[in-house]
Chain A
Amino acid sequence: MPFKRYVEIGRIALVNYGKDYGKLVVIVDVIDQNRALVDAPDMVRGQMNFKRLTLTDIKIDIKRVPNKKTLVAALEAADVKNKWESSSWGRKLIVQKKRASLNDFDRFKIMLAKIKKAGVVRQELAKLKKETTG
C-alpha cells in the first residue's frame, strides 16, 4: 500500500501527454506543488506539470539542476536506456511502437507466421494427448 516511486531529483519519468509524449525525462528540480523542472538529452530543459508525467522505477544520482553535460554523463553511468528497454514496461512500449508501424505486407507475413506456429503447437499437443490416452 505505501508509495514506492517518489518525485525526487533524479527520478526518471515518462511523459504521457503533450508534445513530448512517450519520452523519458529526468526530474531535475521541483518548482511548486504541481510542476517540476524536467530535462532530457534531446530536449530543452523546461517545466512540466506532474499530471503529464508517469514515474518509473529508475532513479539516477544527480545534484539539483545539473548542466546538460553532467546530466548526459549521469544517464550513461546509470545505464538508463538499457535498464528501461529491458524492463517489462519498456519492452511493452517497444512492441506497441513496432506493431503500430507495421506495413500491410508485414501484417500478412505475421499472419502466416502465427498460423504456422499454431500448427506446430497443435501437432505437439496431439502427440502429447496420444501418449496420455494410449
Chain B
Amino acid sequence: MQKTMAPKDRKPHVSRNPDLIRGVGKYSRSKMYHKRGLWAIKAKNGGTFPKHEKKAAEAAPAEKPPKFYPADDVKKPLVNKRKARPTKLRASITPGTVLIILAGRFKGKRVVFLKQLTSGLLLVTGPFKINGVPLRRVNQSYVIATSTKVDISGVNVEKFDDKYFGKKVEKKKKKGEGEFFEAEKEEKNTLPQDKKDDQKTVDAALIASIEAVPDLKSYLGARFSLKAGMKPHELVF
C-alpha cells in the first residue's frame, strides 16, 4: 500500500488490525480489505489494482565455456560475511560513568569511563591525581558499572585509540651481546613525556567537574570492597 513518494517521507505505519491475542486480529479479511481502502484504490484505477510495468529483463551477457576444468572436484570454502565489531557496550556504561575495576593491579578502584575503543576495550582514567589509575584500557567483563555519572563534556578523547596503547616495536640489534642486556633495559622503563602530558590535559577538565560534586573526589580515591552483610546480587550499584 505504498504511494510512489520518495522513500524517506514514509513514516512506519502501525497495523490497522489490533491484536486480540498474539496471532489473532480483531478484523476479518473482508473487513480489512474495506479498512485499507483497497476498494477506493481500485475504483480510482478503473476496476483493477494499479500495476507497475515489469522492467524488460536485461539479456544476460553470454558466458564462454571455461578453458580449463580441474581434475578433482575441490570444495569451495563457505562464504563468511561476518564483520568484526567492537563488543556490545552494556547500556549502563555511558561516557562519564564511574566504573569499579574488579581485577588486575587496580582492583577495587573507582574510575571514570571515557570511551569505547575499536577493539572493544574501554578507555578509562583515574583521574591519575586522584587514585593513581592512568589512561588505561580495561575489559568490559572485569568492570562493574555504577549509576554515578561524571560530566565529561570538557574532555577531548579523540586522539586515543588502540595503537596509542600498543607495545612499542623494538629495533633489533645484532651487535654486542655483552652490553646488550644492561643498556637496553634501563631505557625502556620510563614513560615518555608526551604521554604524561596527555594524562594531564585529560585529567585537568575531569578534575574540575569532579570537584563540583561534594565527596566525589574522596569517593574516587577510595577502593571498593565487600563488607560483612553486603550481598552483591542484592546491591544496587
**Interface 1/0s, chain A 98-109, versus B by CB < 8 A?**
001111110011
Residue contact A105 to B218, C-beta cutoff 8 Å: no
- Contact indicator A105/B216 (Cβ below 8 Å): yes
Q: Which residue of B lies closest to A113 (CB)?
A: B215
- B100 CB contacts on chain A under 8 angstroms: 104
Closest residue to A111 on the B side, CB-wise?
B222
Cβ–Cβ contact B146 & A104, under 8 A: yes
Q: How many residues of B contact A (CB 8 A)?
A: 16
Whether A100 contacts B236 in the complex (CB less than 8 A), given A105-B216, A105-B219, A108-B222, comes out as yes
- Chain B, Cβ-Cβ closest to A101: B236
- Which chain B residues in 50-84 approach chain A with CB under 8 Å? none
Q: How far is the CB of B81 from chain A (nearest CB, A)?
A: 42
Interface residues of B in 207-228 (CB under 8 A from A): 215-216, 218-219, 222, 224
> How far apart sit A102 and B235, CA to CA, in the bound complex (Å)?
8
Question: Which B residues are CB-close (under 8 A) to A105?
Answer: 98, 146, 148, 215-216, 219
**Distance of A104 Cα from B237 Cα, bound (Å):** 5
* Contact present for B215 and A109 (CB under 8 Å): yes
Cβ-defined contact, A103 with B236, below 8 A: yes
Which of B98, B215, B224, B236 is the one whose CB lies under 8 Å from A102?
B236
- A103's partner among B110, B146, B216, B218 (CB-CB below 8 A) is B146
* CA of A59 to CA of B146, assembled, Å: 43
**A104 partner residues in chain B, CB cutoff 8 A:** 98, 100, 110, 146-148, 224, 235, 237
| B179 at the binding interface (Cβ < 8 Å) | no
Interface, chain A (partner B; CB < 8 A) = 100-105, 108-109, 112
